[in-house]
Amino acid sequence: MPSGSFTVAEAVELGKFVLAAYDLFAANDPPDFVPPAGYQLLSKIYADDLTDNLPDYKVFGFIAQSGSDVVVAIRGTEGVFEWLMDVHFVPIPFPYVAGGRTEQGFTNFYSTMRVGPDVSKPRVVDALQPLIAGGAVKTLRIAGHSLGSALATLLAIDVSGNAVFPGPTVYTFASPRVGDKVFAGTYDNLVPNSWRVSNLNDIVTQLPPSFAGYVHVDAEYPINSDAAAKHTVPCWHDLLTYLNTLDATVALGGDCVPS
């Protein structure tokens, strides 16, 4: 069970950070990017999209700070449905924290996450360690959507399991299942203040399949967008649909407004 309380305000706040990560990518990684809400950019996050055998690092998010609060925001991928269909759902031991197995594709993707656009740059968790070590950081919040939710989950257990920051706050949207029962139990113990927002008909939240041994981490916060958004697979999954369902003042994506 989570040690904290889910709040809609915090979910929407962090969801807007993830929207900013999508905007950062859509704008072709501009050098003058500024995080939302007056936060200061500490570093951008890059990952190899693993679409071929050649390294191809693209911007996936950022680390930002305001006072004693640090936020890590990670976007998903435009082709998440195709990406998940290509995943073979092979479970492998998670190499960074002992305790369970994680889906191979998510794990490989996570292993490429850097604070620069090539393999020579530090992993995100290694970049966070000196930042947090001084004690000035009091809260670490991690958020992601879709594939970014899987990466946020892996980052959170890596951060907590390796004593970089005990018990970060995590909000994910449209997360797939990330690992097996042992991994989920290990995660729930190490990251108790974690919330997984799940839309009723979003197929991404139903993958990888439970019959293959995959289990969701706690704690689910279920929503149902059907009263406000179009009943289509992309709209059920869209981050703006999630945020609009939580807070009607957040506008739906144009393609998801009912006719």
- Per-position DSSP letters for 42-82, written without gaps between them: EEEEEEE--SSSS--EEEEEEEEEETTEEEEEE---TTHHH
| pLDDT tens column, 15-43 | 999 999 999 999 999 999 999 999 999 99
| pLDDT tens column, 66-120 | 999 999 999 998 777 667 766 678 999 999 999 999 999 899 999 999 999 999 9
pTM above 0.75, yes or no: yes
pLDDT over 90, % of the chain? 85
Q: How far apart are CA 236 and CA 22, in angstroms?
A: 17
Q: What is the mean pLDDT of residues 233-254?
A: 96
Q: Residue 187 in 3-state DSSP?
A: helix
Inform me whether the pLDDT recorded for 224 exceeds 60: yes
Q: pLDDT at position 135, please?
A: 87
> DSSP alpha helices (H): ranges in 4-146?
8-26, 80-86, 104-111, 124-133
Q: pLDDT at position 184, please?
A: 98
Q: pLDDT at position 61, please?
A: 98
Mean pLDDT of the chain: 93
Instruction: Quote helix, strand, coil % in the chain, to nearest 5.
Output: 35, 20, 40
Cα of 66 vs its chain's centroid, Å:
20
CATH code for 8-256? 3.40.50.1820
Q: pLDDT at position 65, please?
A: 97
Is 211 exposed, middle or buried (CB count within 10 Å of its CB: 0-12, 13-18, 19+)?
exposed
Q: Are strands 57-66 and 40-48 parallel, antiparallel or unpaired?
A: antiparallel
CA-closest candidate to residue 217, choices 167, 153, 163:
153
Q: What is the mean pLDDT of residues 192-210?
A: 96
What is the H or E stretch that residue 183 is in? helix 181-190
| pLDDT tens column, 106-164 | 999 999 999 999 999 999 999 999 989 888 899 999 999 999 999 999 999 999 999 99
End-to-end Cα distance, the chain:
40
